[in-house]
Amino acid sequence: MKFSVLTLFPEMFEALNASVLGRAAEKGIIEVDCVNIRDFSKDRHRHVDDYPYGAGGGMVMQPGPIYDAWRSVAGEDRPLVVYMSPQGRRFTQKLARDLSREEHIIILCGHYEGVDQRVLDEIVDMEVSVGDYVLTGGELPAMVMIDAVSRMVPGVLDSEETASQESHYGGLLEYPQYTRPPEFMGRSVPEVLLGGNHKDIQRWRREKALETTWRKRPDMLKTALLTEADKEFLKKL
């Protein structure tokens, strides 16, 4: 899967070369290609912003350099274009899973006070927000989205089971995790995890996931896929 990122700060995305995504890139499963919007400026000082019409504070990114940067990677196939924006639809695990089915995504990172609306209308297919707050630019949200989407791409994680058991994947938060030593500061690993009975372990993990979600994010239970056994367990909490 390929991500083409239109940005003013391509160096920020070097952080994606570490850990899981770095290994996936080495295997050729994931590709992150950063396109510097400034390279398409017609200004000898490489300016890509100007004062907004109608006055007001701040600067606005000009449409021309963004359009030319997009055209340099879009080709005839015109991949899906996502604009990272606080006005966009909320980024969720479901959206990450849906986006992971795309072969190529172009991500536009805005900056300053925003982007000229005309180029958004021309090239953008979807606006996405990672939260109800405003950041300096779209680079950090873009990295969040790339990370979450990439984890859904086959081959990126060690196994499909790893992704399917993480928080939010099935509409619930993840169960508690433990490792050695078996006792730490007077706290012991739950006995069920030491017994080797996989059926008991799976039941314990499911119940703990339900309990954790009920305690921390009860709103998620409204849309989670619950069995009758799950519903009966929740009635006891």
Domains, the chain, with CATH or none: 2-150 (3.40.1280.10), 165-235 (1.10.1270.20)
Q: Measured between alpha carbons, how far is residue 102 from residues 12, 152, 223 in Å?
A: 24, 11, 25
Tens place of pLDDT per residue across the chain (237 aa): 999 999 999 999 999 999 999 999 999 999 999 999 999 999 889 999 999 999 888 999 999 999 999 999 999 989 999 999 999 999 999 999 999 999 999 999 999 889 999 999 999 999 999 999 999 999 999 999 999 999 999 999 986 546 556 666 678 999 999 999 999 999 999 999 999 999 999 999 999 999 999 999 999 999 999 999 999 999 999
Nearby residues of 104 by Cβ (< 8 Å), 6 or more positions away? 1, 2, 3, 4, 77, 79, 80
Q: How far apart are CA 150 and CA 137, in angstroms?
A: 21
From the CB of residue 163, how many other CB atoms can be counted at a distance below 10 Å? Answer: 18
